[in-house]
């Protein structure tokens, strides 16, 4: 019985770790005074990544400043093998992002975590 439990545990942890979620792109676009940040996720594995998949979007002026979370999505319940999903964020409802965008250069970070998967992050710098 003990051997069966150990085998079942190893099988479950192996299957859980075979799913994956990756940040394919972190895009920052600006048109006039409007900023759009898009996070593109991808599941490159052969197994579905179960959720909740949580994506946190953070900004800061430069490397000497702390990160400020401006938005979190937790509505991705599953990402099928080979599939992609995108999330967009616009600055119109966030004064921190609007102020950073108005001042020129700033950094954006997307942080993603999912059950049974290591957290991943991507950082990009927007230059005016």
Return the domain boundaries, the chain: 19-126
pLDDT at 19: 67
pLDDT at 12: 42
Domain 19-126 in CATH 3.90.660.10? The answer is no
pLDDT mean over 112-123? 88
Buried b vs exposed e over 67-99: b needs ≥16 C-beta within 10 Å? eeebbebeebeebeeeeebebebebeebeebbe
pTM to 2 decimal places: 0.80
- With 60 as the cut, is the pLDDT of residue 37 above it? yes
- With 90 as the cut, is the pLDDT of residue 34 above it? no
Query: What is the C-alpha separation between 24 and 49, in angstroms, rounded?
Result: 15
Q: What is the mean pLDDT of the chain?
A: 84
Q: Summarize pLDDT for 66-81 with one digit per residue, the tens.
A: 999 999 999 999 999 9
């Amino acid at each position: 019985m003990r051997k069966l439990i150990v085998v079942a545990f190893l099988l479950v942890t192996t299957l859980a770790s075979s799913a994956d979620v990756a940040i394919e792109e972190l895009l920052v676009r600006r048109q006039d005074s409007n900023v759009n940040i898009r996070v593109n996720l991808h599941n490159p594995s052969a197994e579905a990544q179960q959720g909740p998949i949580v994506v946190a979007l953070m900004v800061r002026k430069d490397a000497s400043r702390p990160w400020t979370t401006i938005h979190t999505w937790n509505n991705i319940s599953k990402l099928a093998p080979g599939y992609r999903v995108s999330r967009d964020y616009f600055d119109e409802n966030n004064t921190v992002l609007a102020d950073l965008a108005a001042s020129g250069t700033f950094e954006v970070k997307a942080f993603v975590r999912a059950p049974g998967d290591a957290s991943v992050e991507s950082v990009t710098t927007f230059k005016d």
